[in-house]
Amino acid sequence: MAAKKACEALTFSKSLIEEVQRWGCMKQTGVSLRYMMEFGSDPSDKNLLISAQFLHKELPIRIARRALELQTLPYGLSQKPAVLKVRDWYLDSFRDLRLFPEIKDTNDEKEFTQMIKAIKVRHNNVVPMMALGVQQLKKGMEQKIVYKDLDEIHQFLDRFYLSRIGIRMLIGQHVELHNPNPPPHCVGYIHTKMSPLEVAQNASEDARTICLREYGSAPDVNIYGDPHFTFPYVPTHLHLMVFELVKNSLRAVQEHFVDSDKVTPPVRIIVADGLEDVTIKVSDEGGGIPRSGLPKIFTYLYSTARNPLDEECDLGIANAATMAGYGYGLPISRLYARYFGGDLQIISMEGYGTDAYLHLSRLGDSQEPLP
C-alpha cells in the first residue's frame, strides 16, 4: 500500500504539475487544412523532421491546457473517478512528450512517431469516459441544478472535445504521412479529391445497417448532387457527421411510422457545392422536434441513452462506433464541422420532420479553432 502511495506521488510530482502550469500558459499554434495538405504533399525525411519538431513543442501546450482545465471543473466534476482517470491520461501524455529528448535526426523522428501513436491510443476512450464522469456527477446532484446551471460544464466539454479533435488530427496526420503506399489523392488523413456524394453514400449504408439491426427494417435514403464533384477534406470526419445525421433521421422516421400502415418516406440527402461552402442537407419526415427541445439536442447533459462504459468494466472494449450510444453524436458532429471552419444547423417542423444543414468550408483556409 505504501509502495502504491509512493508510486502515485512519484507519478505526478510537484515539479511535473508546475511544468504543466507553465506550458498551459503558452500560446497554441493553429494550422489550416490547406497548410496540412500543402506541407504533407512532400513527406520527405526533412519535412517529417520539421513536423515532428513542431509537434514536440505544440502537443505539450495543448495537452497541458486540457489537463489544467480538468482540475478546475465546477460542481466537483474534477473529483469524479472517471474524470480523474482522463486527467491521468493527459498528465501521462504530457510527461511522455516532455521527457522525449530534442528531435535531431530521422531516427529520433521515427521513435517520436511511435510515441505519439501510443498517446493517441491511450486517449481512445476519452469521450465515453468523460460522459461517464458527467453521469457520475448527475447521479449525485439535485434535479433542479442539472437542467439549469450546467452551461459552464457544457462549454468546457465543447472546448475539451474540440481540442481533442485537433490533437488527434495533428497526430494522425503526422503518423499517416509515414504510410509508404498512400491511397491515390490522399495526403495523410486528407483526401484531395473527396467526393462528398460517395462518402454520404457509404455513411448512409452504415446507418441503414444499424437501423435494420435495431428495427428489422429501414427507410430508403435518396441522395442528390453532382457525382463528379470533389473537394479536399477529411473523409473520416465527413463520414462520422453524415452517419450521425442519417442515423438520427432513420430512427425518427422508423419510430414516427411504427404503428402506421403507410410506406415510410425516404430520408433525402442533397449535396450542394457553393463557392465558399459545400452544404449537405439531410431531410426526414420523422415528426420533427418540439421547439422547446431544440436547444437540448446539442448538449452533453440530457441524454437518457446508455453509456457503453457503464456496464463494461474493461475500458478497452468501447470503440468509436459507440459514440452514438450515449447522445453525444450531434454536439460532437458540430465540433467536427467547426474544426475546419464549417458548422451544423438543425431546423425542425414539429409534426412533420427535421432538416439538418451541414456546412463544410470549401476553401480550407480557416485556422483551427484553438480553445
Give the pLDDT of residue 3: 46
In tens digits, what is the pLDDT along the chain, a chain of 371 residues? 444 444 443 467 889 999 999 999 999 999 999 999 999 999 999 999 999 999 999 999 999 999 999 999 988 899 999 999 999 999 999 999 999 999 999 999 999 999 999 999 999 999 989 989 988 888 877 665 555 557 888 899 999 999 999 999 999 999 999 999 999 999 999 999 999 999 999 999 999 999 999 999 999 999 999 999 999 999 999 999 999 999 999 999 999 999 888 999 999 999 999 999 999 999 999 999 999 888 888 888 765 455 555 654 444 434 444 334 556 889 999 999 999 999 999 999 999 999 999 999 987 788 889 98
Q: What are residue 166's phi and psi, to 5 degrees?
A: -65, -45
Report d(CA 332, CA 57) in Å as an integer: 27
C-alpha angle 282-286-292 in degrees, rounded to nearest 5: 95
Give the pLDDT of residue 21: 96
Of 202, 239, 238, 234, nearest to 221 by C-alpha is: 202
Give the pLDDT of residue 160: 96
Q: Quick one: cell of 211?
A: 437501423
Q: Quick one: cell of 198?
A: 460517395
Q: What are residue 120's phi and psi, to 5 degrees?
A: -60, -40
Give the pLDDT of residue 55: 98
Of 161, 153, 123, nearest to 137 by C-alpha is: 153
What DSSP assignment string belongs to 209-262? HHHHHHHS----EEEES-TT--EEE-HHHHHHHHHHHHHHHHHHHHHHTTT--S
How many Cβ atoms sit within 10 Å of the Cβ of residue 8?
A: 10
Give the burial string for 10-49 (b: 16+ CB within 10 Å, else e). eebeeebeebbeebbeeeeeebbbeebbebbeebeeeebb
The model's pTM: 0.89
CA distances from 263 to 219, 223, 230, 282 (A): 9, 19, 34, 19
Give the pLDDT of residue 56: 98
Give the pLDDT of residue 152: 86
Question: Residue type at 268?
Answer: R
Give the pLDDT of residue 149: 59
Of 82, 198, 94, 75, nearest to 131 by C-alpha is: 82
Give the pLDDT of residue 305: 53
